[in-house]
A and B are shown apart, each in its own frame.
Chain A
Amino acid sequence: MTIIFNNQTLDLPLEEMSMGDFLRSKQYEIRLLIVMLNGKYIKRAAYETTSLKEGDDVMVLRLLTGG
């Protein structure tokens, strides 16, 4: 399937994938992320039960110390 990931097109080898699997495939540390799917905030507890599908718009922000 093809999704939009952080404003860029991304081809994924699978037709279905959980948000949790996607984040792990991108080497994200799950603990400190902001994740949005089609403009909607996804809570950490819902990563494993949220499925990605063709055309989804995924935004991931990794939070870093400093400010």
Chain B
Amino acid sequence: MTKTVKEQISNHLSQFTVGIAGCGGLGSNAAMALARAGIGKILLADYAIITPECLDRQYFFTGQVGKLKIHGLRDNILMANPKVNVKAFDIKLCASDVIELFAFCDVVIEAFDKAEMKQMIIETMLLNLPTVPLITGVGVAGWGKDTDAHVRRNGNLIICGDEVSALSEQLPGLAPRIGLVAHLQANEVLKLLLKDFVPE
């Protein structure tokens, strides 16, 4: 029996590995979307613990408070799609870890909170893993401004977000807009991985 296009997409995506650097608002939401779409292997890297403050925008639940984010997210991914091979790394990434961990990924999502960490992974990947596409999220805070969020590409660096809205006391991170950028990132992953996909 012929498979539906959706099943074929899921089959196609199952051959790929996606790295997720940071499992907060961007990383947890993007990882869930990719797991549901059928990505075969997801590498999660983070060192933080789920606190009650995470629950207003990150893909975690009250019963998971106190767990490592990588473990909470692994459990949630497997509840949504048990076929995903999830590898969870309890680590605060430095440049050498980025090279070691993500060298064999088909694409990596940058989902850190701190600007300095974003700079570290972008610089490291552009210099050391130039063939691995990196999808970064920049400008996610606040609400509304839906049409300001955009995608722009420069070779293997793909930028998602409005590039303006930094997190602050006056402009907090809220679930809808962070989710919007996280899903832009996940959508860019599919765009890359499905570029040679032709339905039967």
Contacts and interface: CB of A to CB of B under 8 A. Distances in A.
**What DSSP secondary structure best describes chain B's contact surface?**
mixed
Interface in B61-110: 110
Interface residues on A, range: 10 to 19
Given A41-B126, A61-B138, A67 B118 contact: yes
Contacts, number: 74
A61 B167 CA distance: 16
Contacts of A66: 113, 139-141, 165-167, 173, 178
B128 to A, nearest CB: 10
A3 to B, nearest CB: 14
B24 interface: yes
Interface residues of B, number: 37
Contact of A7 (B24, B114, B152): B152
A39 B155 contact: yes
A63 B123 contact: no
Interface of B: 22, 24-27, 110-116, 118-119, 122-123, 126-127, 136-141, 152, 154-155, 157, 159, 161, 163-167, 173, 178
13 contacts: A6-B152, A32-B115, A34-B122, A39-B154, A61-B157, A62-B138, A63-B115, A63-B122, A64-B138, A64-B139, A66-B165, A67-B25, A67-B110
